[in-house]
Amino acid sequence: MFAVFECGMLKMSCVLIDALDELGGQCVALYPEKPIYDIPAHPAIEGAALIAQLEQQIAPFGCAKLLGRQVTGLAGEAGNFTLTTSMGDKISAKAVVLAAGAGAFGPNRPPLDGLSAYEASGAVRYYVKRREDLRGKRVVIAGGGDSAVDWALALQGVAAHIAVVHRRPKFRAAPESTAQLDALAAEGKVEMVIPYQLHALHGQDGVLQAVEVVDLDGAPRKLEADVLLPFFGLATELGPIAEWGLDLAQHHVTVTPATMETSVPGIFAVGDIATYPGKLKLILQGFAEAAMAAHAIYGLVNPGMALHFEHSTTKGVPG
């Protein structure tokens, strides 16, 4: 979305294509109510609020948005690309910017019998869009990463009871967050179920009553629960992008840092999908990468025209 803004400021038009039905990627799909603390000038801003601000920022440029579809084909060369989508769209473009995060993503599901019925009813959830949906619920959180710890903290004062299941005492989350979780556990506000792992779900017709866990010796224990939140990471894949002949490194697209151009001229990559020496996977770095890509693309869209750099404070937002 910020690449649209940067291109718009250089008077280049864009088309946004997203596999999700709404803009915002992981910010809206995974943590719309989770605060983000490293956006400049925002001491804290929730994921959904950040996306709303970005939508407002690109609104003056009238960018076409093709949502709920995937780019399935790419043909042509720099200055003359044709993209096709899963919905049959055909888009002509002089340059292409990949801002696909880690690619298409989905949750790693625990191997539990009858899981699908509980997923359908919402008793098992892999994302939390609204904390209020869990108000007064008995919640079991499984996992040892940032998502598990963050949601154990975020649901304080909302859920009736929170139990955190992990197979070992050490968590892979941010040290400060882990310290907060330990403090809540010491106060009796979070039940730490360690070392245990998920074993079975108990209930009827998608209504969850208890989560059964076992320790490392296989001894079972039942936790009364209304909702299970298993956070075992995301399974990601590049999808059709992997077939475009781009140089890849560990499922990421390699780029030239100064321009964000990939190994294929005219195709650029920004954000989490892009990799280069010294890369930091931060939203703010993705914003900077979008600006660099837009300035590099200007010459493709306007061959032979010199780009006279101006600050936004002097030229304003084009109409």
Residue 244 and residue 100 share a domain: yes
Q: What is the pLDDT of residues 288-306, one digit of tens each?
A: 999 999 999 999 999 989 8
Same domain, yes or no: 96 and 183: no
Do 200 and 128 reside in the same domain of the chain?
yes
**Residues 113, 225 share a domain:** yes
Considering the domain architecture, whether residues 65 and 99 belong to the same structural domain is answered as yes
User: In which domain, by residue range, is 23 found?
Assistant: 2-105+235-315
Give the domain-ending residue among 170, 200, 232.
232
Contact indicator for 259, 292 with CB cutoff of 8 Å = yes
Q: Which two tokens stand for residue 109?
A: 């599901």
Question: Do residues 99 and 244 both lie within one domain?
Answer: yes
- Classify residue 41 as left (phi > 0), alpha (psi -120 to 50) or beta: left
61 plus 161 within the same structural domain: no
pLDDT (tens digit per residue) in 223-262: 999 999 999 987 667 778 888 999 999 889 999 999 999 9
Residues comprising the chain, all counted: 319
- Amino acid identity for residue 313 in this structure: T
Per-residue pLDDT at 55: 96
**Alpha-carbon distance 267 to 98, whole Å?**
7
Nearest to 252 by CA among 90, 35, 98, 85: 98
- Give the end of a domain, one of 200, 232, 264: 232
For the chain, how many structural domains are there in total? Answer: 2
Which CATH number belongs to the domain containing residue 127 in this structure? 3.50.50.60
Q: Are residues 42 and 81 in the same domain?
A: yes
Considering the domain architecture, whether residues 115 and 228 belong to the same structural domain is answered as: yes
Contact 101, 239 (CB under 8 A): no
> How far from 24 is each of 52, 111, 127, 223, 275, CA to CA, in Å?
9, 30, 15, 35, 21
Alpha carbon distance 294, 312 (integer Å): 14
Which band of pLDDT confidence, cut at 50, 70 and 90, is reported for residue 104? low
* CB burial of residue 105 (10 Å; 0-12, 13-18, 19+): middle
180-193 residue pLDDT tens: 999 999 999 999 99
Quick one: 24 and 169 in the same domain? no
The per-residue pLDDT for range 24-79, each reduced to its tens digit, is: 988 887 778 888 889 999 999 999 999 999 999 999 999 999 998 989 999 999 99
- What phi, psi does 290 have (nearest 5°)? -60, -40
Checking DSSP bridges between strand 267-269 and strand 96-98, what pairing results, if any? parallel
Phi and psi angles of residue 114, each rounded to the nearest 5 degrees, phi first: 70, 15
The secondary structure element, H or E, covering residue 217 is none
**Tokens encoding 129:** 């869009």
Domain boundary, last residue among 212, 232, 252: 232
Ranges 128-132, 266-270, 281-285, most confident: 266-270
Is residue 14 scored above 90 in pLDDT? Answer: yes
Long-range Cβ contact pairs of 7-10 (< 8 A, separation 24 or more): 7/61, 7/294, 7/297, 8/58, 8/60, 8/61, 8/63, 8/317, 8/318, 9/294, 9/312, 9/315, 9/317, 9/318, 10/294, 10/295, 10/298, 10/307
Torsion of CA 80, 81, 82, 86, to 10 degrees: -170
Half-sphere exposure of 250 (CA within 13 A, CB side): 4
Instruction: Judge if 223 and 305 occupy the same domain.
Output: no
Residues 91 and 240 in one domain: yes
Q: Give tens-digit pLDDT for 130-149.
A: 899 999 999 999 999 988 99
